[in-house]
A and B are shown apart, each in its own frame.
Chain A
Amino acid sequence: MWRACVTTSQGYADQRPGALPGNDADELLWEAIAEPSRRRVLDLIIAHGEATPTMLAAELPFTRQAVAKHLAVLTRAGLVEGHKQGREVRYSVIADRLDAASQAMAHVAAQWDVRLQAIKRLAEAQAAVARPESQDRR
């Protein structure tokens, strides 16, 4: 089962025929979203649609340098892009890249849906056996 892939570096996953080679783009993506304060920067850009470093620094408890650093990582990961406008750079989100991350989470959610459905069937079958009269009411 897929879970096996997570027990990496202890053998199984490394021998997995379909194992992904080290992918620089994915590495940058995960690095970018793994850091909580960077996610706050990203969330704020999403909320505003577009934001300048000045706007972000005003709304977050980070220095301008810290904001600039986060923006650099997010840009390298392809999550945001900057457009120069006058003396400021305005940053906006690149939707495709963000979808890759949220899609991965959607898979996790879908898998739990399948498990919950299985739990439901098992529990309801057992409840029906315990109360045979309940079937008459259906």
Chain B
Amino acid sequence: MIPDMVEREILIEAPMQTVWSVVTEPDQISNWFSDTAEIDVRPGGGGVLSFTDRATNQHATVRLLVETVEPPHKFAFRWDYPEGEKARDGNSLRVEFKLEAEGANTRLRVTESGFTRLERSADEKAAYFDGHSKGWDAHVASLRDYVSGLR
């Protein structure tokens, strides 16, 4: 009823290798996720994503730790863990991408899990979701800019 995990999927009319590049290459990650991305894409590799809030122009960085790299099928990382700590179950969220061929197309699934296991203060969790819903509008706006730029 109250999920620990969210799971979403999408069918992409592109071969797996292309989707794999978009999902895992830092240069491309900065086109669909963060503003900049520096990631050592191998198991145990670290990374930093940076975001600039378009509304407030505030800059922030989030660290991540790569867990699984199985081209072109599976890519997983943990993120959002406290500074100075090692990413593990209980202090971070785990994001996993799975790619599956459907004819010439690719089914992309993403799961993000660990929400209910996070050992964070209620204040931090409240701030997390508060920030999340505010960031949502900015995110939609930036996507709209991006899509109209394609035309």
| A4–B122 touching, CB < 8 Å | no
| A6–B110 touching, CB < 8 Å | no
Q: Give residues 13-51 of A contacting B (CB, 8 Å).
A: 13, 16-20, 22-23, 26-31, 33-34, 36, 39, 42-43, 46
| A115–B134 touching, CB < 8 Å | no
CB A118 to nearest CB in B, in angstroms, measures 4
Q: Mark A2-15, 1 if CB is under 8 A from B, else 0.
A: 11111111101100
Residues of A within 8 A of B53 (CB): 1-2, 4
| B132–A117 touching, CB < 8 Å | no
Is A111 positioned at the interface, with any CB of B under 8 Å from its CB?
yes
| A123–B22 touching, CB < 8 Å | yes
Instruction: Determine the distance from Cα of A1 to Cα of B143 in the docked complex, in whole angstroms.
Output: 13
Residues of B within 8 A of A6 (CB): 62, 80, 124, 127-128, 131
CB B139 to nearest CB in A, in angstroms, measures 6
Q: Give residues 84-126 of A contacting B (CB, 8 Å).
A: 98, 101-102, 104-105, 107-126
Is B135 positioned at the interface, with any CB of A under 8 Å from its CB?
yes
Instruction: Determine the distance from Cα of A107 to Cα of B115 in the docked complex, in whole angstroms.
Output: 13
| A120–B127 touching, CB < 8 Å | no
| Size category of the binding interface on chain B | 35 or more
| Size category of the binding interface on chain A | 35 or more
Instruction: Determine the distance from Cα of A21 to Cα of B74 in the docked complex, in whole angstroms.
Output: 39
Q: Mark B39-68, 1 if CB is under 8 A from A, else 0.
A: 000000000010111001010111000000
| B12–A119 touching, CB < 8 Å | yes
A interface with B by C-beta (< 8 Å): 1-10, 12-13, 16-20, 22-23, 26-31, 33-34, 36, 39, 42-43, 46, 98, 101-102, 104-105, 107-127, 130
B interface with A by C-beta (< 8 Å): 1-3, 6, 8-10, 12-15, 18-19, 21-23, 28, 31-35, 49, 51-53, 56, 58, 60-62, 80, 82-83, 106, 108, 110, 112, 115-118, 120-136, 138-140, 143, 146-147, 150
A-B contact list, 11 entries, CB within 8 Å? A2-B138, A3-B34, A3-B131, A6-B80, A6-B127, A27-B122, A102-B3, A104-B129, A116-B9, A119-B10, A123-B19
